[in-house]
Structure 1
């Protein structure tokens, strides 16, 4: 049965117009891979965190940018991309390879790469539709500053085992927080697909 032209046109407008972004479907596996990455980070623990109490640092994770209620969809996708990219930067360093079990580290890197590719498609589709938010801060800047603090901390601590342990725990917490935002995007995509 052929759809009437007016209905077909309406579906296209809803799918690609500024208000209804069916163009970005966050993969159902995206949140699953984040959870797997959290498990991998847990398995990467080499020393007890209790041995590193003197090395504790408050990196001030920008919780408001992953809360989900305070960022637009396009910004949310950008925030997730930035978070994954910056995490990759931390774990792609030569010093990172020396600090961790290479099998677990490779699995983590593979998961991060897959997620970045998944979000890249969404980001490309959403960027063309996004209208600039006048007077709004770019939430990715908060993520960049957060990871800059992490990289400076590692350097200051000379990439010690305790420094890596603190960073590993911090990024686990960061990923746990980001699942809220990912779930919001998945739910939104699921709602758009329902009748």
Structure 2
């Protein structure tokens, strides 16, 4: 009987405590991956940004969407996921690797995929049924609109090397701005559902 009780206790502990912690502890790895992805984005530079000054564009990055002090913790997961998904989708565009080293692009895609997988694990454990509703709220919608503007710009510029360089710099800037959200999630003081 004591053995059965011990096994049941262990099973309960494994299915509730550590599993929940494991998913969101992955955010430590997420931050490391984010830094690695930023390095890859910097290394992808093949054209001097000065050469592409005529192609510069102000994309109106929705800063409030990624400002850790403005976004509720529950929205932070949604915003980070949306940002990574949009960058990943953008890099999957047919003409995305024209000016870049394909090895670097592939490494970046793998890094983004790993980050998305980590966030998905945390998302499922922390958000449950709230998740889909958050994907349609203000900050997430603002990011979708921002990336739609980038796609339209690339199409207008016919996916030129300079257009991709401008977009690379913009992605680098926007991706860097997610650090506040990552820090907020990493230093969270409890349930992500609390404002």
1:81-134 CA distance string (max 9 Å, x none): 00000000110122113331111001100000000000011222233264999x
Conservation of the 8 A alpha-carbon contact between 2:73 and 2:184: no
Do structure 1's residue 120 and structure 2's residue 127 form an aligned pair?
no
Corresponding position of 2:193: none
Do structure 1's residue 25 and structure 2's residue 27 form an aligned pair?
no
Conservation of the 8 A alpha-carbon contact between 1:84 and 1:112: yes
Instruction: Name the CA shift for 1:131/1:32 in 2 (closer, same or farther; >3 Å).
Output: closer
Conservation of the 8 A alpha-carbon contact between 1:77 and 1:123: yes
Report deviation, 1:187. 1.2
Output the CA distance in 2 between the equivalents of 1:168 and 1:50. Answer: 14
What is the Cα-based RMSD across aligned positions, in Å?
Answer: 2.7
Correspondence list, 1:4-153, <5 A: 25-27=24-26, 28-128=28-128, 130=130, 137-153=137-153
Do structure 1's residue 158 and structure 2's residue 158 form an aligned pair?
yes
Using the size of structure 1 for normalisation, the TM-score is: 0.80
**What is the aligned residue count?**
174
Q: Which runs of 4+ in 1 moved over 3 A?
A: 21-24, 129-133
Report deviation, 1:69. 1.1
Conservation of the 8 A alpha-carbon contact between 1:26 and 1:185: no
119-128 vs 168-177, which deviates more? Answer: 119-128
Using the size of structure 2 for normalisation, the TM-score is: 0.80
Corresponding position of 1:4: none
Q: Unaligned 5+ residue runs, structure 2? A: 1-8, 191-195
Instruction: Name the CA shift for 1:132/1:69 in 2 (closer, same or farther; >3 Å).
Output: farther
Output the CA distance in 2 between the equivalents of 1:156 and 1:83. Answer: 22
Conservation of the 8 A alpha-carbon contact between 1:59 and 1:146: yes
Output the CA distance in 2 between the equivalents of 1:147 and 1:99. Answer: 20
Q: Unaligned 5+ residue runs, structure 1? A: 1-7
Report deviation, 1:54. 1.0
Corresponding position of 2:3: none
